[in-house]
Amino acid sequence: MRNRIFIKLLAAFLVVILAAAVIFDVTIGRAWQASLRAEIERTLVEKTELVAHRVETDRSHSLADIAAQEGHAAGARVTIIDPTGHVLADSEANSANMENHASRPEFSAALAGTIGRNERRSTTIGTPFLYVAVPISGGAVRLAYPLSDVEAVSTELRHNLEWTTAAVFGFAFLVAAIAASWSARRLERIVEVAGRIADGDLHARILEKSPDEIGRVAGAIDKTAVRVEQSFAEVRSSQRQLETLLNSMQDAVIAVSDDGLVQWANQPMDRLVPQRTRLHQPVVETIRDPDFLATVREATATRKVKTARATSIVPGRTFDVTAAPLPGGGAVAVLRDLTETERVEKTRRDFIANVSHELRTPLTSIQGYAETLLDSTPDHGAPNREFLEIIRKNSGRMSRLTEDLLTLARVESGETRFDVEPVPPSEILHDAEESFREIARAHGIDLHINIKDAPVPETLPMVLADREAIHQVFSNLIDNALKYGATGGRVVLGARTVPHAVEFFVQDFGAGIGSEHLPRLFERFYRVDKARSRESGGTGLGLAIAKHIMLAHGGSIRAESELGHGSTFLFALPNA
């Protein structure tokens, strides 16, 4: 790792240094060469103008002498021509043997009245020259300066620059190697500590104090490690608290992943199954109950809470299974042992049934003897008749109570078998209406049928019901409506379609029921107005019986009410 970082950093430094050196060499060399040529050209123009001035003013020397003297003094070749281009004098050649120079670019410009400049390689000696021509009266004067010296100086300068660049490059290479090595060590430290943190060592720190970018990265990693360590400690603490809480529960808890593997289980679950919980193994190896497995799969697939009853997890014991989906997939299931609860409930039902059954005979005897005594007591024996009437009334109430208790016990235990068959809702409604029509009329109450969501009752779908049992439900609800909703003057029976069922209702327009009573209306012996219920002769079991009859039918029952606006009791029967 360190070598890779070092090589990359060093290579980057070398590329930058090399690029800078090349740019410096090319830029400085070209700039210096351009500056030198410009200076030579400027000097040569001045010298040419001086030679031209002497040619025009010196009458004591010949043109050949002037050309030779000035060429030697200027270190350049001097050529003098007339307006036709004929060479009059030249410092390095015989003018008589020279060709016409009128076509030379620098002479063309000079003969035209301007200073002419040109640079080209001499065809005779093969050396590059810089030519400058200045016009004079009767021709032009030209100086030719050889650029071979400039090239030699440029070559020497280039060599000097190359040596200097090499020296600078070597020094920069050394500095870059040191910087790359230092940076590589720092980066290697960061990578090492980051790897330790990734492996779970949350106490690892870089402790970099430098304010540069690498130091800031190291500081950010240290801060992140501190926060991760704190968060991990909090998670561990929460996990320990959760494990302690779940292990202290009496109910067994097991978590299953979306692929059916056991993720976690509390101690009651380990004690529940003989082979103990097998973590990270298929849940079927721990619990083989089909109802439990189906509930967990359904909760995982639908992402909804599902419940079921399991009877084969442990022989002879019954469990209530509640499976809820986990946020990351899978489900958590809670198993509550209902064995003792069901045993106690069965004991309670059996006790109530037995006691009610045993009370039927003496209560019937008491009621019969009281009625016999009433029939044989003369009207003038008022005190005795009053006592006998009280005995008859209360014995009758006790008889009704025992009958209702027996009925409720039989329905709860499943002893009562319902003859469920497809029944038209209209027949159920008409039977109930006919049974209570005269009673309602005697109370001054209008009792009628209202079918919602259907133009005629016959269009409602058939429902699965036991006629007698549903008639008993209607009887309890209508009887309550006539007793407690008589102030409204009317009671409405009806039905309406709901998804997969038909919902029947009994609606009164009396005083209504407070919202705090609605959740408990279907409990045994629960009364909203206890004094009025006793006066009306109710046992407090009618709604409880109605609820259990509906549960046995696979339906539901509920109540809606508002004080001052009457009450509506609704029960739903599944479609046939």
Residues 441 and 559 in one domain: yes
- Mean pLDDT (whole number) for 427-451: 85
Tell me if 346 is assigned to some domain: yes
Write the CB contacts of 203 (distance below 8 Å, at least 6 apart in sequence).
229
Residue 44 C-alpha from the chain's centroid? 82
Q: What is the layout of strands, in order, in the sheet containing 490-498?
A: 446-451, 490-498, 501-508, 567-574, 556-561
- Mean pLDDT (whole number) for 303-317: 85
Tell me if 160 is assigned to some domain: no
How large is the C-alpha radius of gyration of the chain?
A: 59
Residues 495 and 535 in one domain: yes
What is the phi-psi region of residue 566: left when phi exceeds 0, alpha when psi lies from -120 to 50, beta otherwise? Answer: left
Q: Would you say residue 532 has pLDDT above 60?
A: no
Residues 320 and 305 in one domain: yes
Tell me if 526 is assigned to some domain: yes
CA distance readout (Å), 414 to 44, 408, 476, 551: 130, 10, 20, 11
Residues 91 and 139 in one domain: yes
Residues 261 and 294 in one domain: yes
- Mean pLDDT (whole number) for 257-263: 86
Residues 333 and 360 in one domain: no
Final residue in a domain of this structure, among 372, 387, 413? 413
Closest CA to 286 of 253, 243, 327: 253
C-beta atoms surrounding 517 within 10 Å: 14
CATH of the domain at 486: 3.30.565.10
CATH of the domain at 391: 1.10.287
Tell me if 258 is assigned to some domain: yes
Confidence bin at 232 (pLDDT 50/70/90)? confident
Residues 313 and 360 in one domain: no
Residues 74 and 148 in one domain: yes
Q: Would you say residue 534 has pLDDT above 60?
A: no
Residues 333 and 378 in one domain: no
Residues 273 and 377 in one domain: no
Q: Determine contact, residues 496/506, Cβ cutoff 8 Å.
A: no
Q: Would you say residue 153 has pLDDT above 70?
A: no
Tell me if 222 is assigned to some domain: no
Structure confidence by residue, pLDDT tens digits, 12-37: 767 777 777 677 666 776 776 777 77
**27 compared with 471, residue with greater pLDDT:** 471
Tell me if 233 is assigned to some domain: no
Q: How far apart are CA 262 and CA 282, in angstroms?
A: 6
- Give the burial class of 512: count Cβ atoms within 10 A of its Cβ; 0-12 exposed, 13-18 middle, 19 or more buried: buried
Closest CA to 544 of 527, 568, 515, 523: 523
**286 compared with 152, residue with greater pLDDT:** 286
**Domain residue limits at 318:** 251-337
**451 compared with 305, residue with greater pLDDT:** 305
Q: Determine contact, residues 504/495, Cβ cutoff 8 Å.
A: yes
Tell me if 381 is assigned to some domain: yes
Residues 430 and 405 in one domain: no
Average of per-residue pLDDT values in the chain: 79
**For position 24, what pLDDT does the model report?**
67
Q: Convert 418-450 into a string of H (helix), E (strand) and C (coil).
A: CCCEEECHHHHHHHHHHHHHHHHHHCCCEEEEE
C-beta atoms surrounding 428 within 10 Å: 23
Residue 479 C-alpha from the chain's centroid? 56
* Number of domains into which the chain is organized: 4
pTM higher than 0.85, yes or no? no
Final residue in a domain of this structure, among 384, 413, 442? 413
Confidence bin at 455 (pLDDT 50/70/90)? very low
Tell me if 464 is assigned to some domain: yes
Q: Would you say residue 557 has pLDDT above 80?
A: yes
Residues 568 and 498 in one domain: yes
- Mean pLDDT (whole number) for 522-550: 70
Final residue in a domain of this structure, among 381, 397, 413? 413
- Mean pLDDT (whole number) for 79-98: 84
With residue 553 as reference, give the H or E element that holds it. Answer: none
Closest CA to 115 of 52, 36, 33, 34: 52
